[in-house]
């Protein structure tokens, strides 16, 4: 899963941006809202002027604005809106749209034939499948029913049975939007329940016996489970003890993590083993810290070692990472990521906030998603070694380093003891994390180092986090479906808006184009950044075409005269900025669709993220409602 820097913001930071209010979502939303209304009024005036003449066209638009503010909005009746929404709901049901639920169930039944049973993380595979299938089916349904309903009513003249009654244009638009959203809601509920059952039942399995059990000198039992569903687990279990520390004759423990899950293993006093079902799916609640890099000489740096143009995705496997290789991201905070050189003073320090006993009653759980870069050929099976050290943010107090082997493409889970050996001003003593290493503000510093000389450890801000707890899987899946509902609501709003002045097929194409451009927004942002920063990546569309015709490499200087180069780059900048304005005006759907990755990767979906998506969805729906109102009034005037 990929996290961008703005994903770490709170809802208030995203909405108001105290450090740069001009780039805040609130101000950009207001500007977009005003520009859309102005453009809509201009288009309405052009249409009215073409029908009635310049002066009468102006008065027609003015009357429409007056009617909205003075009559229609204050006079909108919730009862009539509900009646029209129910009518739109029944109309959609009569079109047999419920077959989508049956199609979804059929896909689940056939999914076992196509999903790879030997996947390294079947939970991620199953969750991604159900959420992706739901997303595409619901958005396609929303696109179809919202784009064709009103044009068909106008074509068949059934709309006049409504407009001849005391019904306002605001009520017609709201009724259509709410009715179609209700259809999507009714369909999402059974699809969500089916998805939950599909994932939980598909991952449920049972190991029945253990093999090769050996008792070690320390009294532990080491063995393996039997081979079930193409995998087995190793385990080491220890004797249970009573309150006084005496052994009870029974053993219990956890197996190794294989394919993203573990089992509890027990042995009773009679020597019989029991292997329980897999641990339930979870949604990690990560607590991220601020990162600070140090070079090989121990000097602090803004970023880690640059090993080239490799995309640093800390967490290509079931974890969170930042993949941008650029320094800034569309007005966002600085992205800090890079590699730490091994066998030197180089390190990455993470400062975590609010580290208290109440928040971590069972000790500190540190999850690591790191990358390894080898500068020379070595024993790849042994892996690269790293170390974790807990340190007081301001005092010379730190724990002894705890070594580990980097496990790429998986999440390393380290349980940090609260009572550890360490040094206090170079004096060795027993330390308590909360009493000796956490300062009065609840801050704790954790240092990550690479121990092998001439090897490198890849670190990102989101690749190292303290796990503050776990949320149940069903709640995280519910939030993922809320995100799908928000996308559906946005598509319905756009579909109804375009259907007020376009025919059904054209309205569907226009809505689909908006969705497609929304998915392309991130690429436009990246292109704009490269042009702004002067990074030679082939330039914009005109420069890329010139390079293609001349067969020039994209990393070289453009081989044309100074005037031509200036014209080409200026034209490219204008094109990219225009595309950026269009992309900014459209919903950033990759962010909304990306929430499914949180659930699939086992991370709790941030409440602030859902709030941001809900606020953006409300803004777009409100804008689509106002535009729809004016176009519908224009058609009524024409009638």
CB 388 within 8 A of CB 422: no
SS3 of 533, please? Answer: helix
Of 190-199, 232-241, 564-573, which range is least confident?
A: 564-573
Q: Which of 485 and 540 is assigned the larger pLDDT?
A: 485
Kindly list the distances between the CA atom of residue 570 and the CA atoms of 184, 534, 539, 577, in Å, as whole numbers in the listed order. Answer: 46, 13, 11, 11
Non-local CB neighbours of 367 within 8 Å, separated by 6+ positions:
284, 286, 319, 411, 412, 413, 414, 464, 465, 466, 467
Burial class (CB in 10 A: 0-12, 13-18, 19+), 117: exposed
416-440 pLDDT, tens digit per residue, is 989 999 999 989 999 999 999 999 9
Lowest mean pLDDT among 194-198, 224-228, 339-343, 597-601: 597-601
Q: pLDDT of 172-186, one tens digit each?
A: 999 999 999 999 999
User: 77 pLDDT band (50/70/90 cuts)?
Assistant: very high
The answer on pLDDT for 325 being more than 50 is no
DSSP state of 104: H
pLDDT digits (tens, 9 = 90+) for 1-16: 556 556 677 888 888 8
**Confidence (pLDDT) at 335:** 45
Q: If 0-12 CB within 10 Å is exposed, 13-18 middle and 19+ buried, where does residue 439 land? A: middle
Please give the pLDDT value at position 379.
Answer: 64
Instruction: Give the mean pLDDT of the chain.
Output: 83
Which whole-number Å values give the CA distances from 265 to 33, 90, 256, in the listed order? 59, 54, 11
pLDDT at position 73: 93
CB 281 within 8 A of CB 470: no
What's the rounded Cα separation, in Å, for the pair 128 and 470? 20
CA separation, residue 217 to residues 221, 238, 571 (Å)? 9, 12, 75
Share of the chain above pLDDT 90, in %: 39
Query: What pLDDT shows up at residue 6?
Result: 66
Report d(CA 485, CA 477) in Å as an integer: 12
Task: Beginning with the edge strand found earlier in the chain, give each strand of the sheet holding 464-472 in spatial order.
Answer: 282-288, 464-472, 364-368, 412-416
What integer pLDDT is reported at residue 528 of this predicted model? Answer: 54
Higher pLDDT, 287 or 24: 287
Task: Give 306's pLDDT tier (boundaries 50, 70, 90).
Answer: confident
Rounded to two decimals, the pTM is 0.84
Q: What is the rounded distance in angstroms from the CA atom of residue 231 to the CA atom of residue 263?
A: 13
The full 3-state SS of 30-74, as one line of letters, equals HHHHHHHHHHHHHHHHHHHHHHHCHHHHHHHHHHHHHHHHHHHHH
Interval 243-283: pLDDT, tens: 777 888 899 998 988 888 889 999 998 889 999 989 888 89
Q: Which residue has the higher pLDDT, 308 or 442?
A: 442
Spatial distance between the Cα atoms of 405 and 493, rounded to a whole number of angstroms = 51
Q: Do residues 267 and 251 make contact, with C-beta atoms less than 8 angstroms apart?
A: yes
369 vs 116, higher pLDDT: 369
DSSP state for residue 116 in the 8-state scheme: -
In percent, the amount of the chain with pLDDT more than 70 equals 87
Please check the confidence at residue 319 and state whether its pLDDT lies above 60: no
| pLDDT for position 580 | 66
- The Cα–Cα gap between 442 and 351 comes to 10
Query: Which residues are paired to 228 by β-bridges?
Result: 231
Q: Which residues contact 22 (CB under 8 A, 6 or more apart)?
A: none
Q: d(Cα 463, Cα 6) in Å, to the nearest integer? A: 16
Residue 472, pLDDT > 90, answer yes
CA nearest neighbour of 111 among 204, 187, 192, 199: 199
pLDDT on residue 388: 96
pLDDT at 637 over 70: no
Q: How far apart are CA 143 and CA 138, in angstroms?
A: 8
- Long-range contacts, stretch 435-442, CB < 8 angstroms, 24+ apart: 436/392, 436/397, 437/390, 437/391, 437/392, 437/397, 437/398, 437/399, 438/355, 438/356, 438/392, 439/392, 439/393, 439/394, 439/395, 441/353, 442/353, 442/354, 442/355, 442/356
pLDDT of 300 higher than 80: yes
CB 314 within 8 A of CB 463: yes
Q: Look at 321 and 289; give whichever has higher pLDDT.
A: 289
Phi (first) and psi of residue 273, to 5 degrees? -95, 150
The answer to which of 73-82, 433-442, 581-590 has the lowest mean pLDDT is 581-590
pLDDT-derived band at 333 (thresholds 50, 70, 90) equals very low
Q: pLDDT tens digits, residue range 148-169?
A: 988 888 777 777 777 667 888 8
Q: Residue 530: pLDDT band by 50, 70, 90 thresholds?
A: low
Residue 584, pLDDT score: 67
**CA 28/CA 181 separation, integer angstroms:** 26
CATH of domain 285-471: 2.60.120
Tokens (6 digits) for 417: 């003891």
């Amino acid at each position: 899963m990929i996290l961008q820097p703005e994903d770490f913001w709170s809802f208030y930071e995203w909405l108001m941006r105290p450090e740069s209010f001009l780039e805040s979502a609130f101000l950009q939303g207001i500007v977009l809202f005003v520009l859309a209304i102005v453009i809509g009024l201009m288009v309405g005036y052009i249409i009215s002027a073409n029908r009635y003449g310049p002066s009468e066209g102006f008065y027609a638009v003015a009357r429409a604005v007056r009617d909205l503010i003075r009559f229609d909005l204050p006079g909108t009746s919730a009862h009539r809106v509900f009646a029209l929404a129910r009518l739109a709901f029944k109309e959609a049901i009569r079109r047999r749209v419920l077959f989508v639920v049956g199609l979804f169930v059929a896909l689940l039944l056939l999914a076992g034939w196509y999903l790879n049973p030997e996947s390294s993380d079947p939970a991620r595979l199953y969750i991604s499948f159900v959420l992706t299938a739901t997303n595409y089916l619901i958005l396609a349904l929303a696109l179809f029913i919202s784009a064709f309903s009103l044009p068909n009513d106008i074509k068949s003249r059934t709309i006049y049975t409504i407009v001849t009654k005391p019904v306002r244009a605001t009520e017609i638009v709201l009724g259509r939007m709410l009715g179609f959203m209700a259809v999507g809601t009714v369909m999402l509920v059974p699809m969500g329940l089916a998805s939950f059952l599909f994932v939980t039942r598909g991952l449920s399995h049972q190991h029945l016996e253990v093999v090769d059990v050996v008792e070690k000198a320390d009294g532990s039992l080491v063995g393996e489970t039997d081979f079930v569903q193409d995998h087995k687990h190793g385990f080491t279990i220890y004797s249970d003890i009573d309150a006084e520390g005496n052994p009870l004759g029974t053993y219990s423990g956890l197996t190794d993590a294989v394919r993203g899950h573990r089992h509890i293993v027990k042995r009773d006093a009679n020597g019989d083993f029991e292997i329980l079902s897999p641990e339930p799916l979870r949604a990690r609640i990560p607590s991220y810290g601020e990162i600070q890099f140090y070079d090989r000489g121990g000097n602090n740096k803004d970023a880690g070692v640059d090993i080239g143009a490799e995309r640093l995705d800390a967490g290509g496997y079931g974890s969170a990472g930042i993949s941008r290789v650029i320094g800034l991201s569309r007005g966002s905070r600085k992205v800090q990521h890079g590699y730490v050189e091994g066998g030197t003073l180089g390190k990455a320090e993470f400062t975590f906030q609010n580290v208290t006993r109440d928040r971590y009653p069972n000790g500190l759980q540190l999850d690591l998603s790191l990358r390894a870069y080898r500068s020379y050929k070595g024993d790849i099976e042994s892996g690269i070694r790293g170390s974790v050290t807990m340190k007081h943010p301001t005092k010379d107090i730190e724990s002894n380093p705890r070594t580990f082997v980097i496990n790429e493409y998986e999440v390393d889970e380290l349980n940090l003891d609260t009572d550890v050996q360490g040094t206090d001003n170079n004096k060795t003593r027993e330390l308590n994390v909360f009493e000796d290493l956490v300062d009065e503000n609840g801050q704790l510093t954790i240092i990550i180092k690479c121990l092998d000389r001439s090897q490198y450890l890849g670190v990102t801000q989101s690749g190292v986090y303290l796990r503050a707890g776990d949320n149940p899987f069903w709640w995280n899946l519910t939030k993922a479906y809320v995100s799908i509902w928000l996308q559906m609501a946005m598509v319905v709003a756009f579909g109804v808006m375009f259907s007020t002045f376009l025919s059904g097929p054209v309205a569907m194409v226009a809505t689909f184009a908006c969705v497609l451009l929304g998915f392309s927004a991130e690429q436009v942002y990246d292109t704009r950044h490269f042009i702004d920063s002067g990074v030679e990546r082939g330039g914009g569309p005109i420069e890329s075409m010139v390079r293609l015709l001349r067969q020039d490499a994209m990393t070289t200087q453009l081989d044309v005269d100074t005037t031509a180069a200036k014209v080409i780059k200026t034209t490219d900048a204008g094109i990219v900025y225009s595309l950026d304005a269009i992309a900014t005006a459209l919903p950033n759907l990759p962010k909304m669709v990306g929430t499914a990755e949180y659930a699939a990767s086992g991370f709790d979906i941030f409440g602030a993220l859902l709030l941001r998506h809900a606020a953006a969805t409300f803004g777009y729906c409100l804008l689509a409602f106002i535009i729809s109102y004016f176009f519908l009034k224009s058609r009524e005037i024409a009638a």
